[in-house]
Amino acid sequence: MAYASTITVTEMQAASFAGWLLEISETDAAASSEVEIVLANYGLPAFGRVITQQGKLTSGSGANIDPILGSATDPSTAIWRIENATPHPHIHNVPATGIPYGNEITSFFHRSNVNTGADNAITSRYYILKGWPV
């Protein structure tokens, strides 16, 4: 089968904040599998902060994932990026104040970076808040 990804964005509005859950479901993922998320296409804010990075390897021949989200294809070379520190089958990173981004970034590029195989199913989640204030 061929690599496939599904992107779901859920708006989470409350009186004190505007937030979104960005969920990426991948099948037949390999180390270099990549998905582009065009912010405007999913109603994501032009100015925001990524406050949580989560990933879970749910099946396949891989043992670990090492996810990265960036502002350019092959996100490890991007100027703006969120990188995981230690590969693991289940990732949950919470930067102290979130990772801010501005309107110069129009797309996110996500790679789960599974360590082996091309038959992996992976679910990744990013929580995003609108604006830059900390």
pLDDT for 55 = 97
Give the closest residue to 44 by CA, choosing from 75, 80, 70, 8: 8
Distance (Å, whole) CA 45 – CA 62: 33
Q: Does 133 score more than 70 pLDDT?
A: no
Residues with Cβ within 8 Å of residue 21, at least 6 apart in sequence: 9, 10, 12, 125, 126, 127, 128
The pLDDT of 70-85, averaged and rounded, is 91
pLDDT for 13 = 80
In the chain the domains, ranked by start, together with CATH numbers, are 4-130 (2.60.120.340)
Please give the C-alpha separations between residue 112 and each of 15, 49, 119, 122, 128, in angstroms, as whole numbers. 33, 20, 13, 8, 18
E strands, 3-133, in order: 4-14, 17-29, 35-38, 48-59, 68-70, 81-83, 90-93, 99-101, 107-111, 120-130
Q: Does 131 score more than 90 pLDDT?
A: no
pLDDT for 125 = 97
Task: Match 């998320």 to its residue by tokens.
Answer: 37
Q: What confidence tens digit (pLDDT) does each residue in 91-109 have?
A: 999 988 889 999 899 999 9
Q: What confidence tens digit (pLDDT) does each residue in 61-76 have?
A: 999 999 999 999 999 8
The pLDDT of 28-40, averaged and rounded, is 96
Residue 134 · residue 98 · CB < 8 Å = yes
What pTM was computed for the model? Answer: 0.93
Give residue 27's pLDDT band: very low, low, confident or very high (50, 70, 90).
very high
Signed CA dihedral, 106, 20, 2, 70: sign only? positive
Distance (Å, whole) CA 96 – CA 81: 15
The residues that bridge with 42 in the sheet, in sequence order, are none
Q: What is the mean pLDDT of the chain?
A: 93
